[in-house]
Amino acid sequence: MVQYLVSNCGLKPAAAAKAAPLFANLDSTSRPDAVLAFLRSQGLTRRQVRRIVSRKPELLLRDVDATLEPKFRAIRALGLGRADAARLFALYPPALTFGVQTKLLPRVLFWLDYLGSAKLLIKWLAKTWLLQYGVDIFFRNLSTLRSIGIPESRILATSEAKLQKLLDRVEGLRVPPSSGMFMWVLYTLHNVSESAFRAKKAAVMSAAGCTEEEFAAMCRRAPCFMFAPAELLRQKVEFLLGKAECDARYIVNNPVLLTFSLSKRMVPRHRVIETLRSRGVDIGTKANLRGIMRSTEAMFVDRYIVRYQEQVPELHELYPPRQVNGKEELAVKAR
């Protein structure tokens, strides 16, 4: 069965080994074969099937006609196309375990009505598990957030107890509900556990030598840096302080720097800038670190590689161009 899950479903060996005991009583693979054939007949790609089976391997034991086909039929009846119905279940596999009348249709209908279109439903499903909670929980959360002035359109789906804890954590960072960053901070903390937050906070404060208030200010300015692992955050701060020769105040005021890839963006771009300066190239007074790192790939290559490639030919080796729309950025710019 492990081999079957790896070969037929695309699971990794470790995941397959974990799921295999569920199928201990199978005499043959006829039922899993039927489920896989049905999912593919509904337009799901191999990747989407793998996502579903990885999340809910027990679905391979379901009766297609009795449990799976009615769910796809119900979603299609709401006006979703074949591809959207397939993507809905791929984005949220537990929906295939819902009762059609008790959970699936009420939740999907609610969000279709609330968001206004199937396109927006699929868009938001790709960002958060809208179907995880019942409609009643949404309305209770809506009441809570209304009471502190949060617009309905910026609601976050979660349990009541978790929502209140999240609000307390956001309040601890001194983010007022009126702030445009409020929901970004709320969303970030929703995805970063308290223990992980403490570890990342300790890593940044220790490396940068900043205070708790300064760290809170960083979170208010660019909360998404907290998605990076604690050790990686420490390495980024040390790179900025050491190689890039920033002071701690610059990092505190520009926490967006901690959201960029260290190996793919910060290190190679810094290497290019240092090479240009060492060769006496005047790159202008506007070449500040924040602007350099925030530039798009196309802008950076055009401004610092193509412009100076005749003066400093080795730039192409120092900063190999990324693939953009199937073409090498540098080659396109050079032409």
Delineate the domains of the chain, giving CATH numbers in brackets. 1-131 (1.25.70.10), 265-335 (no CATH)
Torsion of the alpha carbons at 15, 20, 22 and 27, rounded to the nearest 10: 150
CA dist 170 and 7 (Å) reads 45
| Range with lowest mean pLDDT among 150-159, 258-267, 294-303 | 150-159
Nearest CA to 190 among 213, 156, 222?
156
pLDDT in tens, 36-71: 999 999 999 999 999 999 999 999 999 999 899 999
- Three-class SS state of 323: strand
pTM, full prediction: 0.59
For 165-198, write each residue's pLDDT tens digit. Answer: 888 999 999 998 888 788 788 878 887 889 999 9
CB 96 within 8 Å of CB 59? yes
Q: What is the average pLDDT score of the chain?
A: 85
pLDDT per position as a tens digit, 77-116: 888 999 999 999 999 999 999 988 888 988 898 888 777 7
Rounded to whole angstroms, the maximal C-alpha distance in the chain is 75
320 pLDDT band (50/70/90 cuts)? low
